Amino acid sequence: MQKSSSHAEQRKGPQSSLIRASERHSTVISRVSRSRRTKTESRHRSNEVWQELESTVHVLDNGVDRTPLPLQRRTNANGVPRESHQGMSSISLLLPLESSSIFHSSLLNASSIDALNIASNTSPYSPSQTGFVTASSSLTSVSVDRRASVFSSSTFSAPGQTVQYQAGSFQFEDAFSAPKKRVLTREERHMWFEDKTTVVLCETPTIMLYTHQDEIVPNERKEELQEVQDRNAAYAELVEAKRVDEGTRFQEKGSWTFIAPKKSIHCSICPPKKKDAGALQVTPWLLRDQFTALLAEDTDVMKDEEEEVDEEDGELEETGEEQEKEVPSETTGEQSSLSNNRSILSWMFADSLLPTLRVMERVVVQNTMEEVQLSYRGITMDPAARRVPRASEKEENPNVEEAEMAVAAEVQDPNDVAPAVAATPLLKSELPPLRMSEDIKGLWTFRSPQTRDRSVTCMAWNCKENDILAVGYSAVRGQDALGVEPANTFQGGIVCCWSLKNPLAPERVIQLNTEAGVSSVAFSYEHPSLLAVGNMEGGILIYDIQKDSNVPAIKTTLTSGQHTGAVWEMKWVARGKERGEFLMSISGDGRVVQWAVGKTIERVAPDLMTLKRQGGAAFEPVVADNGTNGGKRNGDMQQRRRRDALFSRQCGGMCMDVSPADGTVYVVGTEDGSVHQCNKSQTENYELDYAPHSELVYRVRWSPYSDEYFLTCSADWSSRLYRLGQSTQLLKFDSPNQNAVQDIAWSYTNSTAFATVTAQGNVELWTIMDSIHPRSTVQFLDQRRLACVLFAEQDAAVLVVGDEKGDVTLFRLLSPYYSGMNMLADEQERQLEEAIRKAIS
């Protein structure tokens, strides 16, 4: 019995152990299933949160997705996204997915592992291995369920499931197939609700929106390194200056940005231009006064007529004694008729009549000369828009054919050609007989009955209104042997102010109070209405062209120091911003004088320069004496030279020009051909003597684009180009017709072009690149002497020429070479220097 009982106990022992093992196994399975449900729920939640973040955070750059990618690479395991990176510890795989990133760092930073116990029990029915892993973590602020996690490493025989586990290396491989969805029972749902859920809060990944890389320059690139260091030093100095500044250099101010108002395209049209017509402005009260005066005159006329009717009726009824009173009644009638005529003609003496007629004349002239006036501005008129039909070439200039026939006759005496050409008198604005190059077009001529029998001596453009041209004329020349009475009652010199608004008549005519002719004119820069006029007697007057009067606005004082010769040229020179300007003049008496202009014109002592004749310049004989004459002739010549030497110490000045860069430096030309550079600070000696001409110098002109170059022209048939400070000439331009060059002018549209006029009626257009042949020419067929030449100060190339017959002719230069081609002043200066360099090389 004892043996049987003991054997029974022995048989019960394994059964009880199996029962306990099965109970333990069921408990483990329930726990594992609960933990799996918790993990699956947390995985789904983390996946939803991750998808929501990915769908909301985007960075777009011009339609391109620039959203930064996470530093960890996400992988899928069993349909659940995982995050992994290189060098990731395998122990993190043992932790739950939702807390892997937190516990990974905590386990790595942990000081020690508290416990690592692995218990294993084997059974013939279900061998299993169970391990309990616990670790101490430094995370104390996160609420985490610290229950031991159970990982089963058993090898089940169920199909599609394999689990391998190595405790030594903590490697875990999971190849579970996709879990099947199963409906939870009521007890399982209750346990799921009662179970604790672990919530892990993670920080949002950093999103980089902009990254700036500093520029690094290697030491081998010394030039770039020095440039960067200088820029950094300048910036550091600027920052330091702004830091220590007390509000003197750097100030913080706000600014408003205004948006221009917009308007519809169909409304964008320029309004018609309006202009005040001066005398045509009529106000209501002026109309009322005029109507009142007219009514009063009509009332007086009616009363006079009624009185006459009453007197006539009384005469029929009265006796013979009363008829004696007829004489007073007749006289009264005559007086009334005279008063009526006077009232009718009173409008002809109104002050507003002349301005009104002047405006009407301008309108008529602009209608008839519209094409040439547009050509003056460089605008080509459409033939379909021409209001007046264009005349043929013979109708425009009927004297051209006669002049060509006269020249073709090869008359030996050139003076015989002029009567043949000038047989027909020219009308207003009609061009004289010309022969021009193809790239030149004649526009019109400023001509008036007041300028007949006068010569043009000088011209000047207004400094502000470039369409106003002041022309000085000489006194009336002597009449011919036919005894024709002069056309002008005034015999002295005059100044005419011509305007483009009316080329047929001058806008303003100034008559000098002397019989001497005008020798020079100059407009003021600060006061454009003031015109300085010099005459042949040495007098200087200043007129205000705004006033219709021949009385000078400013006169010279009756003191010593007046010029005794003709004033050949004058220049206004600015003193400074607030010091005004002064007037310089050069005269045939050999003096350069400075004048202070105020209420009067006063000479500033001493004279700027007294010109001296160069030794042997003017008295060298053109043809040497061959010695065939006797000694008496030689003696007379010596005595004459000694006598002339007493009077030839001073040299007459002919022209001058002031440097545009320095108002104290000026260049003068003399009658003996010398060219001197002078300075206001030196009144006795010249700064520099340039290579002289062999004859008198008519004009000196500084370049409008460079203060280093100036031109001269002389009676020795040549023009020369000089550089400031260099005594020798750079270039020489000889007239191909061997005529004296009377005047020279620079072009305002091309820095390398200039024009000259000669004494035999030739206009020559030169370029710096060619010093042998002129580029274009104009020939007056009657060979009149040309005295002045100017270029119009505008964008279109227009040439103005004055001659001895009182005509001022305008020419349009059609070649693209003479146009400015929209070049700036610096570009024009470089073009001039480059052309000179090529010409002299």
pLDDT for 627 equals 38
DSSP 59-109: -EETTEE-PPPPSSEEEEETTEEEEE-TT--GGGGGS-GGGHHHHHHHHHH
Widest CA span in the chain: 210
Closest CA to 695 of 674, 678, 710: 674
pLDDT of 752 > 50? The answer is yes
pLDDT for 166 equals 41
Q: Determine the average pLDDT of the residues in 221-228.
A: 90
Q: How many CA atoms lie within 13 A of 231 on its CB side?
A: 8
Give the confidence band of 279 by pLDDT, cuts at 50, 70, 90.
Answer: low
Give the confidence band of 498 by pLDDT, cuts at 50, 70, 90.
Answer: very high
Give the confidence band of 654 by pLDDT, cuts at 50, 70, 90.
Answer: very high
Give the confidence band of 309 by pLDDT, cuts at 50, 70, 90.
Answer: low
* pLDDT per residue as tens digits for the range 622-631: 333 333 334 4
* pLDDT per residue as tens digits for the range 472-481: 999 998 654 3
pLDDT for 711 equals 95
Q: Determine the average pLDDT of the residues in 538-562.
A: 87
Both tokens of 528, joined, read 């454009």
pLDDT of 465 > 70? The answer is yes
Q: Determine the average pLDDT of the residues in 800-810.
A: 93
Both tokens of 749, joined, read 């549209």
The identity of residue 619, as a single letter, is: F
Both tokens of 479, joined, read 């009449």
Q: Which range, 271-285, 369-383, 567-581, 676-690, is most confident?
A: 676-690
Q: Determine the average pLDDT of the residues in 6-30.
A: 56
CA quadruple 34, 36, 38, 39: dihedral, nearest 10? 160
In our burial notation (b when 16+ CB lie closer than 10 A, e otherwise), range 321-338 reads eeeeeeeebeeebeebee
* pLDDT per residue as tens digits for the range 173-210: 444 455 677 888 988 888 888 888 888 888 888 888 88
Q: Determine the average pLDDT of the residues in 587-606.
A: 90
Angle at the Cα of 764 from the Cα atoms of 760 and 767, rounded to 5 degrees: 155
Give the confidence band of 422 by pLDDT, cuts at 50, 70, 90.
Answer: very low
pLDDT of 168 > 50? The answer is no
Give the confidence band of 789 by pLDDT, cuts at 50, 70, 90.
Answer: very high
The identity of residue 182, as a single letter, is: R
pLDDT for 410 equals 39
The residue that leads in pLDDT, 756 or 103, is: 756
Give the confidence band of 57 by pLDDT, cuts at 50, 70, 90.
Answer: low
pLDDT of 43 > 50? The answer is yes
Which of 509-518, 569-578, 755-764 is predicted least confidently?
569-578
pLDDT for 45 equals 67
pLDDT for 638 equals 56
CATH of the domain spanning 693-841 = 2.130.10.10
- Residue extents of the structural domains in the chain: 24-54+70-109+128-133+149-203, 693-841
* pLDDT per residue as tens digits for the range 701-745: 999 999 999 999 999 999 999 999 999 999 999 999 889 999 999
Q: How many CA atoms lie within 13 A of 122 on its CB side?
A: 1
Q: Which range, 57-71, 127-141, 218-232, is most confident?
A: 218-232
Both tokens of 7, joined, read 């054997």
High-pLDDT (> 90) share of the chain, %: 31
User: At 384, is the secondary structure helix, strand, or coil?
Assistant: helix
Give the confidence band of 54 by pLDDT, cuts at 50, 70, 90.
Answer: low
pLDDT for 557 equals 79
Q: Determine the average pLDDT of the residues in 220-246.
A: 90
pLDDT for 765 equals 94
Q: What are residue 418's phi and psi, to 5 degrees?
A: -60, -45
Peptide bond connecting 205 to the previous residue in cis, omega within 30 degrees of 0: no
pLDDT of 800 > 60? The answer is yes
pLDDT for 396 equals 47
C-alpha span between 41 and 49 (Å, rounded): 13
pLDDT of 135 > 70? The answer is no
Q: Determine the average pLDDT of the residues in 444-463.
A: 92
High-pLDDT (> 70) share of the chain, %: 61
Which of 75-84, 281-290, 301-310 is predicted least confidently?
75-84
pLDDT for 648 equals 59
Q: What is the DSSP letter of 554?
A: B
C-alpha span between 369 and 378 (Å, rounded): 15
pLDDT for 351 equals 75
Residue 813, C-beta contacts closer than 8 angstroms, at least 6 positions apart: 439, 440, 765, 776, 797, 798, 799
Which of 228-237, 754-763, 820-829 is predicted least confidently?
820-829
Predicted TM-score (pTM) of this structure: 0.56
pLDDT for 742 equals 94
Angle at the Cα of 66 from the Cα atoms of 61 and 70, rounded to 5 degrees: 160
pLDDT of 85 > 60? The answer is no
pLDDT for 75 equals 53
* pLDDT per residue as tens digits for the range 335-350: 555 555 666 666 677 7
pLDDT of 408 > 60? The answer is no
* pLDDT per residue as tens digits for the range 384-399: 666 555 554 444 454 5
C-alpha span between 498 and 495 (Å, rounded): 10
Give the confidence band of 268 by pLDDT, cuts at 50, 70, 90.
Answer: low
Average pLDDT value for the chain: 74
C-alpha span between 245 and 238 (Å, rounded): 10
Q: Please answer whether residues 720 and 674 qualify as being in contact, where contact means their C-beta atoms are separated by less than 8 angstroms.
A: no
First to last CA, the chain: 147
